[in-house]
Amino acid sequence: MRITVDTDKCCGAGQCVLAAPDVFDQREEDGIVVLLTEHPAQELRADVETAAQVCPAGAIVLELEEARS
């Protein structure tokens, strides 16, 4: 899984940080999202997916890697 964030879209609601604090943080000066890791551990996948779903601005994009055969 690869995560990208669009800081121009971010409205600073902080829902991503509540859902996945090991992956997202916020800038102190304006609350804009800070991505802590672009490729989080697999065990964080559910939290990251929740963060993307609850983002009111749609600023989080997940690229899920297909299983390799």
Domains and CATH numbers, the chain: 2-63 (3.30.70.20)
Instruction: Please report, for residues 4, 17, 18, 26, 66, the alpha-carbon distance to residue 9 in angstroms, rounded to integers and kept in the order given.
Output: 12, 16, 18, 14, 27
The model's pTM is 0.90
Structure confidence at residue 69 (pLDDT): 52
Structure confidence at residue 65 (pLDDT): 74
Q: Give mean pLDDT, residues 14-40.
A: 97
Structure confidence at residue 64 (pLDDT): 82
Res 67 pLDDT > 60: no
